[in-house]
């Protein structure tokens, strides 16, 4: 089985092609095996490229622990670069089928290489039914007590569930994401974003990812953080988001969320 490894802001993925749906029965085990950083290749997730009847290609994402994700911002930028440079889909706008619907991706290229990727991430939702929350209509800037500690949380669906908390004074550690992720209010768990507000145009985000733990960056987390801060009146429509793995630009236009950033190849090889 041939693979290519890619990364977006240090969020790394193993890519394999499955045009014949050959891995349906064991793709969870494949993901856990190849993502293991000691006994496998090592990655935050496995991305399977499949044919689509409604878009240019279908993206299937499985986290390193074997759980599935409907959407991943860093993965979809890598996916678009792969389609253009490896699969030779010669378009400036590519449609990608995801678990969160079809996403349209605009490519900025130079000499047949993708330099920047702009993704229409769609609209976020604060509805408790969409996230989903247990017996709660919404969670916006609300104090929640978890294992004896009080957090002020805002939760939304940005393709996948995301919870944000402002961490300007480093009062929280990234490892606290572990207990927030599995708090029983969140029916399907949640990603957790720890935010430092520099000013209304610049923020820093660290994300504890559901199913992967602390990562260098999370694309949907960056988008969710900007949407949540905008909801609270704490940022502008266009924000530069700094992560440990690099920076993204996130812009909200008429409630549509756009993410702009890069992606890179790391290596390719053969899985035994």
Does the annotation count 218 as an active-site position?
yes
The pair of three-digit structure tokens given for residue 162, joined into one six-digit string: 């995301």
209 is in an annotated binding site: yes
Q: From the candidates 35, 72, 78, 223, which is the catalytic residue? A: 72
Residue 167's CB is within 10 A of a number of other CB atoms, namely 19
Residue 236's CB is within 10 A of a number of other CB atoms, namely 14
SS3 83: helix
112 is in an annotated binding site: no
Beta bridge partners of 62: 46, 68
191 is in an annotated binding site: yes
Does the annotation count 72 as an active-site position?
yes
Q: From the candidates 35, 78, 218, 223, which is the catalytic residue? A: 218
Expressed in angstroms, the distance from the first to the final Cα of the chain is 7
Give 151's contacts (C-beta < 8 A, 6+ positions apart).
Answer: 143, 144, 145, 165, 172, 176, 180
135 is in an annotated binding site: no
98 is in an annotated binding site: no
219 is in an annotated binding site: yes
Chain-centroid distance of CA 25 in Å reads 25
190 is in an annotated binding site: no
H helices of 17-72, in order, are 27-35
Per the annotation, where are the binding residues for substrate?
11, 63, 73-74, 191, 209-210, 219-220
Per the annotation, where are the binding residues?
11, 63, 73-74, 191, 209-210, 219-220
- Please identify every residue annotated as catalytic: 72, 218
């Amino acid at each position: 089985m041939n693979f290519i490894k890619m990364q977006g802001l240090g969020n790394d993925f193993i890519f394999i092609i499955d045009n014949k749906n050959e891995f349906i029965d064991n793709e969870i085990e494949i993901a856990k095996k190849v993502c293991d950083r000691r006994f496998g290749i090592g990655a935050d997730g496995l991305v399977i490229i499949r044919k689509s009847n409604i878009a240019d290609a279908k993206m299937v994402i499985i986290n390193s622990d074997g759980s599935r994700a409907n959407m991943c911002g860093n993965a979809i930028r890598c996916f678009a670069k792969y389609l253009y440079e490896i699969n030779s889909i010669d378009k400036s706008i590519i449609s990608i089928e995801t678990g969160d619907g079809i996403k349209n991706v605009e490519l900025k290229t130079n000499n047949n290489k993708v330099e920047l990727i702009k993704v229409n991430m769609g609209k976020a939702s604060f509805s408790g039914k969409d996230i989903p929350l247990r017996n709660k209509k919404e969670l916006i800037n609300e104090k929640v007590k978890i294992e004896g500690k009080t957090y002020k949380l805002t939760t939304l669906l940005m393709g996948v569930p995301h919870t944000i908390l402002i961490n300007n004074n480093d009062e929280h550690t990234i490892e606290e994401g572990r207990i927030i992720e599995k708090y029983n209010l969140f029916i399907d768990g949640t990603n957790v974003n720890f935010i430092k507000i520099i000013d209304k145009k610049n923020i820093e985000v660290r994300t504890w990812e559901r199913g992967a733990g602390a990562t260098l960056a999370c694309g949907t987390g960056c988008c969710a953080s900007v949407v949540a801060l905008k909801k609270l009146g704490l940022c502008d429509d266009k924000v530069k988001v700094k992560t440990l793995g690099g920076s993204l630009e996130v812009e909200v236009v008429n409630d549509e969320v756009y993410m702009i950033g890069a992606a890179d190849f790391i290596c390719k090889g053969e899985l035994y």
